[in-house]
Amino acid sequence: MYTKDGEQYFIVDGHVHFWDASPENQANKYGRGWIDCFYDYHRNLSPAEYVWPIERFERYSEDGMMEDLFGKGYVDVAIFQPTALKEFYHRGFNTVEQDAVVAERHPEHFILNGSFDPRDGDAGLEQLARDRDRYGIRGVKLYTAEWRGDSRGWSLKDPEAKRYLERCAELGIENIHVHKGPTIWPLNRDAFDVADVDDAASSFPELNFIVEHVGLPRLEDFCWIGVQEKNVYGGLSVALPFIHTRPRYFAQIIGELLYWLGEDRIVFGSDYAIWEPKWLIERFVDFQIPEDLQGEYGEISTEAKRKILGLNEARLYGIDVPATASVA
């Protein structure tokens, strides 16, 4: 937990990875370009003391990750969000199986999410059920822009995608994390459009749709969807690091989210290892919306910060929270 000014914050980092982008795993120029694009985000939006050398960024150690998250990073529980990218990496970039090895060694610290790609057809549905039985997954991470052969992405509106969402509901996989944010080279920006979330959230009210990266750069579109669909949540990874380089811009982002979605439907994620949680958590707890914007957005209360940093995601995943860190 993180403690500041006598207040305790239970931290759920809802967006972490254990990726392998090492040169020997890169299958082609796209694997090289992908991690270089990630590194540009890391280098440009991190404080100087948190910028890693590229070699560490490509393939960091399990021990290093454990220290960054749970040693110095204040995190109580972290959620693995897989990204396969088997077109770009020989062994995949950050697969369910890779994450599972670490999660099974540290069950007190990690929740493992699965994934699906509707282009896998019936075989993918069977794999989803096997993952649920083997790992007890309660959520999935979806990458609608991921390449597959000649296909450059898919939509939550696709009939095949709806088959998978139906299966998730049947299996009790209630938390659907969807990457809807800035593009990463060479994926197509339009394949990350948030519009398909509206249809899916309306069609499956029993599921929770956590829109990772809050739809950036389509924040307004996302907010209009989120205010109508009460099962839509905003994940702050990618948005939160602007607290360092462009704090006023971040104030507008968080202000819009609080206005439209409210403090109960915003969740924290570091996107580790693009960013380390330590400085993000410290900055967010200390952050306040500038006075000249408070007439429009108001202030962020301590209770709202507690919810965003951990309590909201704890509720989605049934995580026990110490009484000292719960909202009074």
Tens digit of each residue's pLDDT (9 = 90 or more) over 97-156: 999 999 999 999 999 999 999 999 999 999 999 999 999 999 999 999 999 999 999 999
Model confidence at 189: pLDDT above 90? no
Residue that the structure tokens 């996107």 belong to: 271
Quote the pLDDT of residue 328.
54
pLDDT value at residue 192? 92
The pLDDT of 47-69, averaged and rounded, is: 98
Buried b (16+ CB within 10 A) or exposed e, 95-111: bbebbbebbeeeeebbb
Which structural domains are found in the chain, ordered by start?
12-325 (3.20.20.140)
Write the DSSP string, 148-204: BTTB----TTSHHHHHHHHHHHHHT--EEEEE-SS--TTS-GGGG-THHHHHHHHH-
Confidence band for 168, pLDDT divided at 50, 70 and 90 = very high
Per the DSSP assignment, residues forming a β-bridge with 176 are: 140, 209
For 275, half-sphere exposure in the C-beta direction (CA atoms, 13 angstrom radius) is: 28
| Mean pLDDT value across residues 254-268 | 97
**33-238-64 Cα angle (round to 5):** 75
Residue carrying structure tokens 């139906």: 166
Q: Is 262 left (phi over 0), alpha (psi -120 to 50) or beta?
A: left
Nearest to 155 by CA among 163, 169, 145: 145
Confidence (pLDDT) at 323: 86
Give the percent of the chain with pLDDT over 70. 99
pTM for the complete prediction?
Answer: 0.96
